[in-house]
Amino acid sequence: MLRFVKFLFTITHSWIPNRTVCTEKKAGQTYIILNTKLLSDPTLHLCTLAEEIGHHITRARSNLLECSAGDIEQIAEDEYKAKKWAVNFLVPKKEFQYLTESKRLTDEDLAKHFNVTLEFIKLRRMARWVN
């Protein structure tokens, strides 16, 4: 049985001064707006998009531009949740284990294989980031 999931967000690109990404809500619809500068780096584009989707999926709603000093702990937790979702989504545990144990690929080779940044590979290696 196939299961279809409707995401309640729209992804678009625009020039955003001094930012890589922003999320807006209008009329019940969430918009993920990625800076057009990301289009020149497909790997960073993919990782950034996955993290922003992670914010949506995990309901991590932090906004670094509209926060007070008291919000820092919540922001750190929200960023952690979103990035963890992105790493688990883009670098699946079983495939990662297979490639690291049987193929003995370097971190650079793994990053190329999964089309992610080295940061994502390093995070996947950390025990707390494993599913």
Residue 12 belongs to a domain: no
Residue 113 belongs to a domain: yes
Residue 98 belongs to a domain: yes
Distance separating alpha carbons of residues 124 and 126, to the nearest angstrom: 5
Strands 9-14 and 29-35: parallel
Residue 65 belongs to a domain: no
Residue 2 belongs to a domain: no
Q: How many CB atoms lie within 10 A of CB 90?
A: 19
Residue 30 belongs to a domain: no
pTM confidence score: 0.76
Q: Looking at residue 1, what is its pLDDT?
A: 35
> Do the Cβ atoms of 6 and 16 come closer than 8 Å?
no
Q: Looking at residue 36, what is its pLDDT?
A: 83
Number of domains in the chain: 1
Residue 10 belongs to a domain: no
Residue 125 belongs to a domain: yes
Residue-wise pLDDT for 25-57, tens only, equals 677 777 777 888 888 899 998 999 899 888 888
- 33-51 in b/e burial notation, b at 16+ Cβ within 10 A? bbbeebeeeebbbbbbbbb
Has residue 58 got a pLDDT over 70?
yes
Cα 83 vs. chain centroid, distance in angstroms?
A: 5
- Domain residues for the domain of 87 are 41-59+70-129
In one-letter notation, the amino acid at residue 16 is I
